[in-house]
Amino acid sequence: MTATVIDGKAFAAKVRGKVAEHVARLKSEHGITPGLAVVLVGEDPASQVYVRSKGKQTVEVGMNSYEHRFDADISETELLETIRQLNNDPDVHGILVQLPLPKHLNEDLVINSIDPAKDVDGFHISNVGLLGTGQKSMVPCTPLGCLMMLRDHHGSLSGMDAVVIGRSNIVGKPMAQLLLGDSCTVTIAHSRTKDLAGVVRRADIVVAAVGRPEMVPGDWIKPGATVIDVGINRVDKPEGGTRLVGDCQFDSCAAVAGAITPVPGGVGPMTIACLLANTVTACCRANGLAEPQGLTV
């Protein structure tokens, strides 16, 4: 193996350390404790795991964690009423509605009912528009975590060829915006892309956000390129039980890449750290205080 393995778990711990310092200062100097509310609809077991680790880490950095769990058959009206209450609650600085929502709920309507200033996922149309026009916004956590790791590894990304595989609103599109903001030449690939292998082979930076276990093989990777693997896929082990794999074949990609993020221990922990960072940022903005440096773009 030649690639540097980018340790997202260790990087995330550093980000949480910075978050904890800011939280301590907000408390001692201003008597404010940042609060994050997570709304979970239904019983999706994978979602429950994320919600638990988010809640635990929120408390560990000194913030308040609020959880609102609902049965999968909750009405849209009731969910919107909950969000209205959280919007009006001065102790809540960040609101996250876990996605995907059950089919009978209009995801766009629900997300856009969140106060944009409390939208720590950065999914509200006004934050999407602000990001797209280069204005100050809440930046989606997963792409933000990826950008932090890329900047840490490369310093400047200016002029690099970046390929993002996946065009979802929560990962692919905002990732492409951030890379463009850092002056990469950005290509967004998706399920209709012709010659995906050829497109990926040109890239200095590959961000894979597809949701297909190990679909990117090492022979698609340009020697020395940086591979950011966003995929979180649970697959069966031959001996029974399951394991997590990314969207890239780790061993074959690591053999040619210059740097690569592992799964688990790469993008995932950074996503949660960035969620906490966004909550502190939102809290400072809400109270007219100076924003913490280095926790957002």
Ligand X SMILES: NC(=O)C1=CN([C@@H]2O[C@H](COP(=O)(O)OP(=O)(O)OC[C@H]3O[C@@H](n4cnc5c(N)ncnc54)[C@H](OP(=O)(O)O)[C@@H]3O)[C@@H](O)[C@H]2O)C=CC1
Ligand Y SMILES: Nc1nc(=O)c2c([nH]1)NC[C@@H]1CN(c3ccc(C(=O)N[C@@H](CCC(=O)O)C(=O)O)cc3)C=[N+]21
List, as residue ranges, the binding site: 166-168, 232
- Binding to ligand X by CB under 6 A, coded x per residue (else -) over 205-234, reads ----xxxx-----------------xxxx-
Binding partner at 121 among ligand Y, ligand X, none, C-beta below 5 to 8 Å by kind: ligand Y
> How far from the centroid of its chain's Cα atoms is residue 13's Cα?
15
For 37, the 3-state DSSP assignment is strand
Alpha-carbon distances of 75 from 79, 88, 96, 221, rounded to whole Å: 6, 20, 18, 46
Using CB under 6 A as the binding rule, whether residue 178 contacts ligand X is answered as no
- Restricting to residues 111-150, name those near ligand Y by CB under 6 A: 121, 141-142
The reply to whether 44 belongs to the active site is: no
Give the nearest distance from C-beta 172 to ligand X in angstroms.
6
For 11, the 3-state DSSP assignment is helix
Binding partner at 264 among ligand Y, ligand X, none, C-beta below 5 to 8 Å by kind: ligand Y
Give the nearest distance from C-beta 167 to ligand X in angstroms.
4
Contact 7, 153 (CB under 8 A): no
Q: Which residues contact 136 (CB under 8 A, 6 or more apart)?
A: 130
- Restricting to residues 85-114, name those near ligand X by CB under 6 A: none
**CA–CA gap between residue 222 and residue 218 (Å, rounded):** 9
The reply to whether 103 belongs to the active site is: no
Beta-sheet strands, E only, within 159-204: 161-165, 185-189
Beta-sheet strands, E only, within the chain: 4-5, 35-41, 64-70, 94-97, 161-165, 185-189, 205-208, 226-229, 233-236, 242-245, 259-260
Using CB under 6 A as the binding rule, whether residue 269 contacts ligand Y is answered as yes
Task: Count Cα atoms within 13 angstroms, Cβ side, for 60.
Answer: 14
The reply to whether 194 belongs to the active site is: no
Using CB under 6 A as the binding rule, whether residue 48 contacts ligand X is answered as no
- Binding to ligand Y by CB under 6 A, coded x per residue (else -) over 4-33, reads ------------------------------
Among 191, 224, 243, 287, binds ligand X (CB under 6 A): 191
Binding partner at 167 among ligand X, ligand Y, none, C-beta below 5 to 8 Å by kind: ligand X
- Binding to ligand Y by CB under 6 A, coded x per residue (else -) over 270-289, reads -xx-----------------
Q: Which of 148, 151, 111, 116 is nearest to 131 (CA)?
A: 116
Task: Write out the catalytic residue numbers.
Answer: 54, 98, 121
Instruction: Give residues in contact with ligand X (CB under 6 A).
Output: 142, 165-168, 170-172, 189-193, 196, 209-212, 230-233, 267-268, 271
